[in-house]
Amino acid sequence: MQQIGLDAPKKLVADTSVKKGKPDPEGYEVGARLLGISPKDAVVFEDSVNGVVAGCAAGCTVVGVLTSTHEDKLREAGAKYVIKDFTQVQISHANGLVITLDI
């Protein structure tokens, strides 16, 4: 998170927070609820097929990250965007939170 200019999260969803793990969307649904937002308003960064499937099933916008899975597999799982790593992500807080992908 620090690599892209974000502080450590104040709210965290861990495996003990949910009954079902990925590819079930429960983790992302719980996370959105903790943040007080709709999953439709969440952006998920995932490097696994099961994570992409979970994020998509929750209704989030999913960005695949090419750290462990080939781009084709991430896209087939539903990733809307794919980045090589987090150096392609820019975060701005000037007028609300703005996430820019250099893709």
Backbone angles phi, psi at 64, to 5 degrees: -80, 140
**What does the pLDDT read at residue 71?**
97
> Which pTM was predicted?
0.86
**What does the pLDDT read at residue 101?**
86
Whether 61 and 41 have beta carbons less than 8 Å apart is answered as no
**What does the pLDDT read at residue 7?**
81
Q: pLDDT means per 10 residues in the chain (103 residues)?
A: 76 92 97 95 96 98 96 98 93 81 84
Cα–Cα distance for residue pair 74/16, rounded to 1 Å: 26
